[in-house]
Amino acid sequence: MKCIGILALQGGVAEHVSHLEELGAKVVEVRLPEDMAGIEGLVLPGGESSAIAHLITTAGLMDPLKAWVAEGKPTWGTCAGMILLSDKIANPKRGGQATIGGLHVCVKRNFFGSQLGSFVSTLTFPEPLSAHAEGEYRGVFIRAPAIVSHDQDVTVLARVVQKKTSISALQDGVSEVIVAAKQGNHILCTSFHPELTSDLRWARYFLSMVPEK
């Protein structure tokens, strides 16, 4: 049984717990540094990225989380979690915004607009995931970020075709935007929320990144 920690300071924790437990994982809710003892993988859930960053710092978790990612341990960030893992933010909060870093990308917060920019899009599982999943799936986007640039060691897993009505698309002049990526075999990020559907394939894929003991 793999032991997966979920950062449980704010955001969509319960849904990730449900998916991982359904797949047979043991789940530990991480609120303090000592909660990370014994975990084999880590999920950073969606929520409000600047609020989560503040709570991480207050809880004394920033250095342990930075060390975890730097050591190449399996980590999955969804939505706000993707922002927290990113090395750069194109539009940080005024006054700056702390991140854990380690994922060699630049993201743009709220790429698709405010809460009114939330939507569901049908995506296709990419070739790198074909051994674990195939076919289409529903991507649930809620005030979602997007990756606007990345280093060569980052593999793009999914893109969304922009609608002409998208304010962000008009501003950035792009027809597609990256919404899922992987770095090595230790960092997975999705700007959408697989945990808000009944589809377990992304959670199953993340578990496949966690080595067997």
Taking the CA atoms of the chain, what radius of gyration do you get in angstroms? 16
CA nearest to 191, candidates 152, 151, 153, 156:
156
Taken as a whole, the chain contains a residue count of: 213
Strand, coil or helix: 29: strand
> If DSSP codes are grouped into helix, strand and coil, which group holds residue 144?
coil
Short-list 100, 96, 90, 192, CA closest to 149: 90
Secondary structure letter of residue 73 according to DSSP: -
Alpha carbons 104 and 149: distance in angstroms, whole number = 9
- Catalytic residue from among 104, 150, 186, 193: 193
Determine which one of 15, 19, 79, 150 is catalytic: 79
Phi and psi angles of residue 25, each rounded to the nearest 5 degrees, phi first: -85, 150
Q: Give residue 80's identity as a one-letter amino acid code.
A: A
Please confirm, yes or no, whether 34 is among the known catalytic residues: no
Catalytic residue among 15, 104, 186, 195: 195
Q: Is 195 among the residues known to form the active site?
A: yes
79 is catalytic: yes
* CA atoms of 24 and 26, how far apart (whole Å): 7
Give me the active site residues, please.
79, 193, 195
